[in-house]
Chain A
Amino acid sequence: MKLIDSIDKWLDDTGEKLGKKTIRYNPDLIGAVLMFGLSVAFLLMMPSQIKLTETSTINARTFPRLVFMIVLVLSVLLFFKEIAKIVLKKGSASRELNLLVEVRALIIFVFIAMYYLLLEPIGFIASSIVFGICMTAYFRVRKWYYYAIVAACAIAVGLVFQYVLHVRLP
């Protein structure tokens, strides 16, 4: 238990340090640039990804092209709207990234990704138990029966799907 206590303390300390750090960013500017980049990329990829077999003007490329043109135009509009706000000092969009929150999200994402990657090697029930225990540990739970409940749920879900619903889980 002493080990767990010291881990807890280290986590608290790191958490405090990270919690104080924030990064400010403009979601509109970044969003606009990202969407612009994606739409240009997909428009360039279109000829190779959609081969035309018909001769009509409205064809398999029409809709995707229309969609990306709209995204392109709107992202440019969004970008300049935001620039105008910044220049005219009319209150630009601003968000804060709290490092602690983001690191936590990253940890959860790593758990989820790991869960996905473990599905085939060790099977659904085993990987669910591993994931469940990791997530419960993430919430810093000390009571052992919480872990048991989560593991039991994992096993129950797996068995019901496999034997009652005839779904071949990995």
Chain B
Amino acid sequence: MKKVLCVVFFALLTISSAFSGGSNEADISKWPEREITVICPWAVGGVADVVNRTLATYGQEYLGVPVLATNELGAGGNVALTNYLKQGPNTYELIFGNEGCFSVTPNVAGGEAIQFTYDDFVPIINLYSAIFVMTADSTLGINDLDDLKEYGQNNRIKIAVNGVASAEAFLAMALMDNLGLEYDLVSYNGANLALDAAAKGETAFAISHQSQAAGNVEAGVLTPVVMFNEDGVDTELFKDVKGVGEYGFAEFYPNTCCLMTRKGTDPSVVEKIRNAYLEILKKPEVKDLYDELMIEINPMDAEEFKEHIDSVTAIVLSSK
């Protein structure tokens, strides 16, 4: 009786061990064999998060497995990127990265504590490019950089940003330094909260994506001041808004969102994911979403993304 029990017990153990999730994917040609998770390291409901969740719904069609979108928040993306170092090559978890993580954060104050580097990741495809905009509390009547400079002569400028070591925070710092104004960056946990702070008059200014500010601009609560690009924009909502390039400043760059995997991943795996997402980006529903979010399709590959990172790093280092 006891012997039978022992045998059954060990049989159960062996069978159940078979169910245990080990990561021994030896056959690369069969990748992916189970669901893929894409981690967005930024705010829930933000532009990257919405893009992630929407594109993930088409994943099964092109990759043959479900693609799950998830978030991992903290320190403007640093927490998720640091935790990602625990992943191995050919992992089923992918992550987003951008110039904020690789060009700005390591090169600003506190950067020595960063535990990851660009080389720990392999870029697969950039999902979009977007332009940041600075908006102001509409009661201040600030519509361009000249108004801003005038305001800044008598007031210490408070700018609400989504994390002090982020891509947008650097843009704010560089602009203020170029204008020779005194400022403080006030960190919030998400662009929506930063915009709300500006709308309430708590800080006078905020930096965000255009679509995030759209609601407040439309309602007349915030006014756009400047775009962080060469030529500005002129759309229905953002009428005749100049770009920092037009004032002769060089510190601007587009915001990107690159889908990445862990270093050492087999090139065929990278190719598979890239091709799948290229197809997804062609879908009309995705194009509509991008129009609504005021972002552009810009499927940079690894080389192009590295160039982008290097150029932003150069901008950051030169302004130090």
Interface residues of A (CB under 8 A from B): 51, 53, 122-126, 129-130, 133, 144, 151, 154-155, 158-159, 162, 166, 168-170
Contact indicator B21/A155 (Cβ below 8 Å) = no
A51-B110, A123-B19 are known contacts; what are 8 more A-B pairs with Cβ within 8 Å?
A: A122-B20, A123-B17, A123-B22, A133-B9, A144-B5, A158-B19, A162-B21, A169-B21
What CA separation (Å) do A130 and B9 show in the bound complex? 9
What CA separation (Å) do A51 and B114 show in the bound complex? 13
Interface of chain B residues 93 through 110 with chain A (CB within 8 A): 109-110
Are A129 and B12 also in contact (CB < 8 A) when A53-B109, A166-B35, A166-B68 are?
yes
B16, CB-defined interface residue at 8 Å: yes
Interface of chain B residues 12 through 35 with chain A (CB within 8 A): 12-13, 16-17, 19-22, 35
Instruction: Say what secondary structure dominates the interface of chain A.
Output: helix
**CB-based closest 8 A-B pairs:** A123-B20, A125-B16, A53-B109, A126-B16, A168-B21, A53-B110, A126-B17, A126-B13
Partner of A51, one of B17, B68, B113: B113
> What are 12 pairs between A and B in contact, CB < 8 Å?
A53-B109, A122-B20, A123-B17, A123-B19, A129-B12, A129-B13, A130-B13, A151-B12, A162-B21, A166-B35, A166-B66, A170-B21
Interface residues of B (CB under 8 A from A): 5, 9, 12-13, 16-17, 19-22, 35, 66, 68, 109-110, 113
Report the minimum CB–CB distance from A133 to chain B (whole Å). 8
Q: Which residues of B contact A166 (CB under 8 A)?
A: 35, 66, 68
Partner of A169, one of B13, B20, B35, B113: B20
What CA separation (Å) do A9 and B52 show in the bound complex? 62
Report the minimum CB–CB distance from A158 to chain B (whole Å). 6
Q: Which residues of A contact B5 (CB under 8 A)?
A: 144
Report the minimum CB–CB distance from B96 to chain A (whole Å). 20
Contact indicator B68/A126 (Cβ below 8 Å) = no
In the complex, the chain A residue whose C-beta lies closest to that of B23 is A168
Partner of A123, one of B9, B12, B16, B68: B16
Report the minimum CB–CB distance from B7 to chain A (whole Å). 14
Are A123 and B21 also in contact (CB < 8 A) when A129-B16, A151-B12, A155-B16 are?
yes
Q: Which residues of B contact A158 (CB under 8 A)?
A: 16, 19
Are A126 and B20 also in contact (CB < 8 A) when A151-B12, A166-B68 are?
yes
In the complex, the chain B residue whose C-beta lies closest to that of A124 is B20
Q: Which residues of B contact A151 (CB under 8 A)?
A: 12
Contact indicator A125/B109 (Cβ below 8 Å) = no
Report the minimum CB–CB distance from B47 to chain A (whole Å). 26
Report the minimum CB–CB distance from B238 to chain A (whole Å). 34
Q: Which residues of B contact A123 (CB under 8 A)?
A: 16-17, 19-22
What CA separation (Å) do A129 and B298 show in the bound complex? 51
In the complex, the chain A residue whose C-beta lies closest to that of B16 is A125
Are A159 and B35 also in contact (CB < 8 A) when A53-B109, A122-B13 are?
no
Q: Which residues of B contact A53 (CB under 8 A)?
A: 109-110
In the complex, the chain A residue whose C-beta lies closest to that of B111 is A53
What CA separation (Å) do A155 and B19 show in the bound complex? 10
What CA separation (Å) do A62 and B299 show in the bound complex? 45
In the complex, the chain B residue whose C-beta lies closest to that of A133 is B9
In the complex, the chain A residue whose C-beta lies closest to that of B19 is A125
In the complex, the chain A residue whose C-beta lies closest to that of B20 is A123
In the complex, the chain A residue whose C-beta lies closest to that of B109 is A53
Q: Which residues of A contact B66 (CB under 8 A)?
A: 166
Report the minimum CB–CB distance from A28 to chain B (whole Å). 38
In the complex, the chain A residue whose C-beta lies closest to that of B113 is A51
Contact indicator A170/B19 (Cβ below 8 Å) = no
In the complex, the chain B residue whose C-beta lies closest to that of A3 is B2
The listed residue with most A CB atoms (<10 A of its CB), out of B20, B22, B35, B113, is: B20
Contact indicator A170/B13 (Cβ below 8 Å) = no
What CA separation (Å) do A122 and B12 show in the bound complex? 12
Q: Which residues of B contact A124 (CB under 8 A)?
A: 20
What CA separation (Å) do A151 and B35 show in the bound complex? 28
Q: Which residues of B contact A144 (CB under 8 A)?
A: 5
